A and B are shown apart, each in its own frame.
Chain A
Amino acid sequence: MTFLAPAAAILGLTLPAILALYFLRIRRPTRIVPALHLWPDQIRDRQANVPWQRLRPGWLLLLQLLAAAALVTAAIQPALPASATLARHSIVLLDASASMQATDVSPSRFVEAKRQIGAIIDQLGPDDRMTLIAVAPTSRIVTSSIGNRDALHHALEAVTPSNGSADLSGALALASGLTRAGDDARAYLFSDGIVDPLRAAGDGLPFPVEYHRIGVSGENVGLTSLSVRTSAQSRAATLHVQNFGQQLRTVAIEWRADGRLLDARSVSLKGGEAQDLTFPVPADATAVSARTDSGDIFALDNSATAVARTPRAFSVVLVTPGNVFLEQALRLRTDLKVDVVAPSAYRPGSGYALTVFDRYLPATLPVSPMIVIDPPTGSALAGGTAIGVGKVRASDAGDPLLANVDLQDVHVARSQDLRNSSFGRTLLTSLQTPLVLVREEPYRQALFGFDLHESDLPLRIAFPILVQNLSEWMLPSSVPSHSVQPDEPVTIVPEAGATSLSVTRPDGSRRSLPTGSLATFGDTDQTGVYTVDQVISGKTDRSWFAVNLFATSISQLKPPDRLTLPPTRISGAVHAAHHGELEIWPWIALAALGLIAAEWLAFHRGL
């Protein structure tokens, strides 16, 4: 047993003080009574009537001495060796991801993890250090303290689970940064094991990691995607429902548009089975939502929301003698309103957001985003003499504009020589000449050096994707059109002339954003529909985006028995863990309270 506050032993002087009070004379007034034998033979404190007379034992004295002894013992804070093995520096990694909200352990995995961490905090010695790290989409150090259990308890209590994933790699990197080689450190991971895939950790972790599995069950039915499709005839939503558990589950699904109940269906799913359901979307609906009443252990994936309102359309003009490929590729994007005009009919300054010139270029270029394809010889952007070209390749394979663009079988027969062009940076190139150039200034613009008809690019799946990427780069939606994951930052593009920009979250709280340039909105921890309001010329322009969990890796709640963690690089000599200390003084203080109550009772009973 150790004593955390041995200096408090000086309070032990209260015991002889109590005894002295019993020894010391107490002056009592003399009262003559007719019959002394009728009065009970008792006095309160059994004080002697002369100083330092022989002490007469009594219940009150005994109880008072016991209570004082218990209080003094509590004050010096005795501690017993605890069962847990602690290092001098305990790094506690608390999984604060969405899956920790599962209720398969009562009241939830997260609360259970906090309870277990609290038990470790209680065993910390006065010289032991603990660092608490919350493992969330963005892991963070919650607190780091030496011996201050109260501070650790308070910090632990303040941690709340996020609705996102668990970036364990980031958390381990944070922890590694806190320790040096040779430190007596040990990490404790309290998690359900549902974490983002681990990234390589260099030459290993400088501390061992104990995985404390939280959670037992994976029985969960979740909604993992919801998308609204608009066709010429109708609008419909597709909902993906999946049973992540092992048992057959029947769930009822409510379908609502702007809160109005439109449909309710019952779906039976075997273990591991998934099903796609299609629901109609009313023409006037702003948002649609689906909800299951499964009452399972995880509520976060029991609802899904999608924005049904068609985004604000951009006007695009395609100036071409005729190019079906290009026209179709542009029309794939539903928020583009494409006008096709012949070069002879083109009038500059028509207020289009994007102008696409195919084999034509006016004398005066538009002051707006623009795509120029195979500019005529002699025009402002024309390149050198056409040369034969073979295989097409990316100038930078990691360029976001080439995301998902497969150039494997793309060829170009002939292209203008753009090697001497000062248009901008190269996006696509070949051995002979750059093929596609892009530039940011003065506006986002692209220059294709070849006629599409002299390439098999329009026949490849890469073409519509490339056009989509370019058009989205040039005309970004003011808000995301796809579902955003919780805690994922959202880029909002203020409209030109917007004087104010604000976002209203699903819970009704409102955040204001600057209107000058691209705004990043990070408070997307809640699931549901977010409303973006922009005031333009006194009128409010409203748009929406949806945040949903939609993560099968999280909905798959079954905690793994083992978690493959990065290797540890420590020598055995450093691994000098010791037993924690279990404070028992609260119990002793409680006993003292009981003794004081007994003494009070004994006094009033006249013992």
Chain B
Amino acid sequence: MAPPLLEPETLRRLETLALQVRRAVTGQLGGERRSARRGRSVEFADFRNYTPGDDFRLIDWNAYARLDRFMLRLFVAEEELPLSIFVDLSGSMDWGTPNKALVARQLAGAIAYVALNALDRVRLTVFADAPTSGGAPYRGRRAAAELFARLQSFPVGGVTDYTRLTWPIGRQRPGMSVLISDGLGPLSIDPAIAALQRARQEGAVLQLLAPQEISPDWSGDARLKDAESGVEREFTATPVTRASYLKALAERGREIEEAAHRRGLRFARLSTDQPLEDMVSRTLRQVGLLA
């Protein structure tokens, strides 16, 4: 049996986090987000812990009397936050120690869990050379297990093609999107980021790199093989070529960051050797994706 994507302890800590939305959203279903729409459903959906910033009018005082803690009553009628998570599972992500694809799945699962915990609607899309839908939107904390299983079921491989990601992005209703990728495909990530802006998505672009590609630790003669295309080339690593590579990597990262900021998106660069809890509770809070 495959190990769980996220440990229970990690999940418990994620319950204290919430996605931070800069503007009011319009969802198809109710949620805990204050909606631009009027009216509220009376259909009870779930409880969850109160976190600062929640609408205190939704506090279930009976539950407080019983449990001596603030709980929010969540109603279906409340408007949900549509969250779309795009996970890069191209060939270049199956690389590094810790493996980038594994960490990308965990990171997507963690963000999705935070959203599901807030009754937000989560749509999952993985992509490489073509986008693949992760199925119907997930909603409610109970859907987390299914989402995790779905995340783990996708194979890794193929050449990254960000242009083909524009179509599923364009279908999104205004909401939040998180794009997780190493951004190292042969083509620019800019079309995908532009599509997010056109689809009125707020959210973040998370560039995930392995420590071995941030700081290559080898030198000498080698036959380099591209993880995505399988193209091979002979190469001699010298201090000069290493410096040239690092410069190209930094240039690519700067392009992604500038494109994200230009489109009103958050950007974070993450290393796979960074603990997952550190990523979500520190880095993603620093960039304002989570609160």
Contacts and interface: CB of A to CB of B under 8 A. Distances in A.
B182 A42 contact: no
Interface residues of A, number: 25
Contact of A31 (B184, B186, B224, B241): B224
B6 interface: no
Contacts, number: 99
Contacts of A43: 221, 234-236
B57 interface: no
A28 B210 CA distance: 24
A49 interface: yes
Contact of A34 (B92, B239, B241): B92
Interface in A296-313: none
Contacts of A573: none
B222 A31 contact: yes
Interface in B96-118: 96, 100
Q: Among the interface residues A29, A37, A42, which one has the most CB atoms of the partner chain B within 10 A?
A: A37
B229 interface: yes
Interface string B231-248: 111111011110011001
Contacts of A30: 222-225, 232
Contacts of A514: none
B99 to A, nearest CB: 11
B240 A26 contact: no
A41 interface: yes
Interface residues of B, number: 36
A146 B277 CA distance: 88
A139 interface: no
A30 B213 CA distance: 16
B227 interface: yes
Q: Among the interface residues A34, A38, A42, A606, which one has the most CB atoms of the partner chain B within 10 A?
A: A34
A36 B245 contact: no
Interface string A25-55: 0101111111111111111110101000000
Nearest to A30: B223
A38 B221 contact: no
Nearest to B226: A36
Q: Among the interface residues B96, B210, B235, which one has the most CB atoms of the partner chain A within 10 A?
A: B235
Nearest to A37: B186
DSSP majority for the B interface?
mixed
Interface in A1-43: 26, 28-43
Contacts of B47: none
A26 B223 CA distance: 10
B249 interface: yes
A33 B241 contact: no
B222 A42 contact: no
A604 B223 contact: no
B219 to A, nearest CB: 11
Contacts of A38: 184, 245, 248-249, 252
Contacts of A31: 218, 222-225
Contact of A35 (B184, B218, B235, B240): B184
B50 interface: no
A36 B235 CA distance: 10
A28 B223 contact: yes
A587 B228 CA distance: 53
Nearest to B244: A40
Nearest first, the 3 A-B pairs at minimum CB distance are A44-B236, A36-B226, A34-B92
8 contacts: A29-B223, A34-B228, A35-B184, A35-B226, A38-B249, A42-B235, A49-B234, A603-B238
Interface of A: 26, 28-45, 47, 49, 603-606
Interface of B: 92-93, 95-96, 100, 182, 184-186, 210, 213, 218, 221-229, 231-236, 238-241, 244-245, 248-249, 252
Given A32-B226, A39-B233, A49-B223, 10 more contacts: A28-B221, A30-B223, A33-B226, A34-B184, A35-B92, A35-B184, A36-B225, A37-B226, A40-B241, A44-B236
